[in-house]
């Protein structure tokens, strides 16, 4: 059995897979440090979770209650948001790898420290259990230098200030799953939309990332649930002058995006049900900037053969998909409205020059697959 963990600031998502990558159970330990509850396969139980160690203990107890003791676990596999320029492939966790993940914490201060806490706490609880890490940045390591380098002095780049890109595990999963869904090979020029509370696009040429919308951090690119997306650096400097650094961080990361545009709603489902002009504008802003960035990524591939949607919005928001696909009709995109309403997986008509697919996000299975590949390779 492989236990997959995705640790955030106040929650730990988990999933348990067999070594044939069958999902046994999944759940969430949430509201860590402020109450707390444990959810397993949709069943929620309130319980105090004072810290990440208590949350992990609760997860392990839930596994035991489901008939999976610690002796049944072959490995634990973690999602780590930032691997920097060195950790560009899945790895077995060693002291050196831990040190490198810690060194990347300044690049992802909202994520890597919590990923590290889960790894270290699990090692404390089950020291003999092998642990592996997959990185959200690694799929984009194939981006050319011209795509990752900011036009700043080189001495700044040596401090790690460059484009990295994120949602890599989602895109890697999409590339792995699409042939099974479409019945054909991965299209040569594939534009992938990972649309959710965090959102990005990726240009995938011959199965490899060549451009993506997120940059140095997950704040860049598209309009998101609470993140501003792309914003002029001088505008950021003015916000810092007027509000201070910490307040500006909060504004751009937690109070902007759909939430800021609509005046209080970050959930796309609620926005699309709300008749107000502010909510309608927020949805249109999301779609408009998705299309603006799509044009840039299509240019990076010098054409387009297929489109794939994934993520909570990408998989479920019928109207958002329709608006984006209407904006790409100049490329020969023809959407089947009934197929879009049904949720696919195939959305294109027979006459469409561009294939269109919905690919369910399977990041946890991708992490388990990475760990299994390392385990079997080592064996």
Q: What was the pLDDT predicted at 379?
A: 45
* Joined tokens for residue 83: 């691997």
Is the pLDDT reported for residue 328 higher than 60?
yes
Q: How confident is the model at residue 69 (pLDDT cuts 50, 70, 90)?
A: confident
Q: From residue 24, how far is each of 76, 111, 180, 282, 335 by CA, in Å?
A: 14, 27, 21, 38, 36
Provide the edge-to-edge strand list for the sheet that holds 189-194. 208-212, 200-205, 189-194, 306-310, 355-358
Q: How confident is the model at residue 378 (pLDDT cuts 50, 70, 90)?
A: low
Task: Name the CATH topology of 184-363.
Answer: Nucleotidyltransferase; domain 5 (3.30.420)
Task: Name the CATH topology of 2-135.
Answer: Nucleotidyltransferase; domain 5 (3.30.420)
Q: How confident is the model at residue 272 (pLDDT cuts 50, 70, 90)?
A: very high
Our measurement of the distance from residue 103's CA atom to the centroid of its chain's CA atoms, rounded to an integer in Å, reads 21
Q: Which of 177, 135, 136, 164 is nearest to 315 (CA)?
A: 177
Helix (H) or strand (E) holding 177: helix 168-182
Please enumerate in sequence order all residues whose Cβ is within 8 A of that of 234, keeping only pairs 6 or more positions apart, or say none: none
- Cα–Cα distance for residue pair 106/81, rounded to 1 Å: 12
- Cα–Cα distance for residue pair 194/109, rounded to 1 Å: 22
- Cα–Cα distance for residue pair 211/296, rounded to 1 Å: 9
Per annotation, catalytic residue among 51, 74, 96, 136: 136
Q: How many residues does this entry show for the chain?
A: 379
Residue pLDDT, tens place only, 117-147: 889 988 988 899 999 999 999 999 999 999 9
Is 206 among the residues known to form the active site?
no
- Cα–Cα distance for residue pair 173/192, rounded to 1 Å: 11
- Cα–Cα distance for residue pair 304/297, rounded to 1 Å: 9
- Cα–Cα distance for residue pair 283/270, rounded to 1 Å: 11
**What one-character-per-residue DSSP string does 213-246 give?**
S--SSTTSSS--SS---S--HHHHHHHHHHH-HH
Residue pLDDT, tens place only, 165-186: 999 999 999 999 999 999 999 9
Q: In the chain, what are the domain boundaries?
A: 2-135, 184-363
Q: How confident is the model at residue 284 (pLDDT cuts 50, 70, 90)?
A: very high
- Cα–Cα distance for residue pair 167/287, rounded to 1 Å: 19
How much is the mean pLDDT over the chain? 94
- Cα–Cα distance for residue pair 240/227, rounded to 1 Å: 16
Is the pLDDT reported for residue 244 higher than 60?
yes
Contact 289, 201 (CB under 8 A): no
Q: From residue 295, how far is each of 19, 134, 218, 352, 359 by CA, in Å?
A: 41, 30, 20, 18, 21
Q: Residue 205: helix, strand or coil by DSSP?
A: strand
Is the pLDDT reported for residue 5 higher than 50?
yes
- Please give the sequence-ordered ranges of beta strands (E in DSSP) within 259-378, or none if there are none: 306-310, 355-358
């Amino acid at each position: 059995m492989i236990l997959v963990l995705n640790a955030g600031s106040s929650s730990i998502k988990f999933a348990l897979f067999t070594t044939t990558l069958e999902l046994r159970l999944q759940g969430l330990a949430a509201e860590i440090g402020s109450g707390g509850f444990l959810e397993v396969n949709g069943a929620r139980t309130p319980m105090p979770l004072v810290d990440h160690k208590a949350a992990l203990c609760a997860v392990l107890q839930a596994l035991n209650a489901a008939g999976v003791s610690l002796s049944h676990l072959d490995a634990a596999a973690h999602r780590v948001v930032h691997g920097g320029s060195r950790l560009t492939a899945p790895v077995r966790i060693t002291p050196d790898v831990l040190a490198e993940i810690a060194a990347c914490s300044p690049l992802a201060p909202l994520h890597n420290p919590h990923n590290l806490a889960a790894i270290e706490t699990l090692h404390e609880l089950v020291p003999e259990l092998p642990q592996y890490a997959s990185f959200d940045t690694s799929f984009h390591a194939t981006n050319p230098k011209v795509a990752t380098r900011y036009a700043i002095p080189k001495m700044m780049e040596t401090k790690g200030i460059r484009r990295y890109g994120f949602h890599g595990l989602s895109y890697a999963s999409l590339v792995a799953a699409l042939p099974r869904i479409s019945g054909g090979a991965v299209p040569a020029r594939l534009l992938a939309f990972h649309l959710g509370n965090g959102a990005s696009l990726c240009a995938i040429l011959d199965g490899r990332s060549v451009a993506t919308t997120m940059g140095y951090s997950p704040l860049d690119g598209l309009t998101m649930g609470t993140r501003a997306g792309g914003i002029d650096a001088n505008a950021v400097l003015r916000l810092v002058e007027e509000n201070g650094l910490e307040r500006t961080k909060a504004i751009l990361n937690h109070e902007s995006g759909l939430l800021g545009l609509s005046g209080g709603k970050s959930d796309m489902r609620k926005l699309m049900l709300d008749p107000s002009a502010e909510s309608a504008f927020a949805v249109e802003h999301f779609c408009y900037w998705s299309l603006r960035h799509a044009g840039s990524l299509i240019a990076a591939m010098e054409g387009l053969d297929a489109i794939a949607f994934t993520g909570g919005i990408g998989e479920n928001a019928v109207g958002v998909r329709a608006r984006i696909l209407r904006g790409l009709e100049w490329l020969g995109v023809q959407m089947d409205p009934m197929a879009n309403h049904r949720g696919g997986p195939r959305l294109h008509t027979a006459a469409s020059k561009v294939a269109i697919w919905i690919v369910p996000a399977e990041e946890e299975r991708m992490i388990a697959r990475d760990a299994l590949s390392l385990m079997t390779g080592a064996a």
